[in-house]
A = this chain, B = another copy of it.
């Protein structure tokens, strides 16, 4: 196992500003494109990240610390952000993500004592018993998976444009 709380926070702290730097000011063609029907565009990925900050990571962390195995995790709908009916610019969404993430990593450092809490468990609706360490590792890898998704969506836009180089570009292999 490699999980380490301080190293995890290094990533959690960097994700919002990294995305802010990468995405702010981009042409809407990059932000509106997707990978085909029923797939997300960049706006939708950011909204999903915001939704997770509100209703997933911290509520589950608190459930583990407060309820343990006595109660299922509070529900989290991975698709609820798709009902968000807004035309907010990307910059505003990224700021929202940054500020709620900052609050949440602060809560994380206040609530969790690694020596005491990492092996504590809660009850996931699909997986059953899960550890706090697993939840926190997943929070980090969830950031990484969505950064990866964002660049993959954007690469897809040039799938035909790259011509024969497609063969060398791992991101287009699917």
Residues on B with C-beta less than 8 A from A127 are 163-165
Check A3–B161 contact: CB distance below 8 A.
yes
In the complex, per-residue mask of A157-173: 1 if CB is within 8 Å of any chain B CB, else 0? 11011111100111110
* Interface residues on chain A, size class: 35 or more
Q: State A141–B148 Cα separation when bound (angstroms).
A: 13
Nearest CB of chain B from residue A143's CB, rounded to whole Å: 8
Interface of A toward B, CB cutoff 8 Å: 1-4, 6-7, 10-11, 14, 17-18, 21-22, 25-27, 29-30, 33, 124, 127, 130-131, 133-135, 137-138, 140-142, 144-145, 147-149, 151-152, 154-155, 157-158, 160-165, 168-172
